[in-house]
Amino acid sequence: MKRYFPLLLLLFFVLGCAEKECGCDSPPQEAMYFPPNDGSSTWETKSISDLGWNAIAVQPLLDYLQLKNSKSFILLVNGRIVMENYFNGHTASTLWKWNSAGKTLTSTVTGIAEQEGYLNINNKVSDYIGTGWTSIPLAKENLISCKNLLSMNSGLDDTLGDDVSPSNLQYVANAGTRWAYHNVYVKLQDVVEQASGQSWNNYFNTKLRDKIGMETSGFWYTGTSVNLGLKVYFSTTRSMARFGLLALNNGKWNGTTIINETYFNSATSTSQTINQSYGYLWWLNGKSSYHLPQSQYQFNGSIIPHGPTDMFMALGKDDQKIYVVPSRKMVVIRMGNPADASNMALSDFDDMLWQKINALYQ
Of 63-72, 102-111, 212-221, 340-349, the least confident: 340-349
For residue 311, pLDDT over 70 is answered with yes
Give the Cα separation of 281 and 315 in Å (integer): 9
For residue 169, pLDDT over 80 is answered with yes
Portion of the chain with pLDDT greater than 70, in percent: 90
Calculated CA dihedral for residues 294, 299, 304, 307, nearest 10 degrees: 140
Of 8-12, 126-130, 168-172, 317-321, the least confident: 8-12
Give the Cα separation of 184 and 206 in Å (integer): 24
Residue type, position 348, single letter: D
Answer whether 138's CB lies under 8 Å from 131's CB.
yes
Prediction pTM value: 0.91
Residue type, position 152, single letter: M
Could you tell me the maximum CA-CA distance found in the chain, to the nearest angstrom?
96
- For residue 97, the cross-strand partners are 234
Pairing, β 283-284 against β 289-290: unpaired
For residue 260, pLDDT over 60 is answered with yes
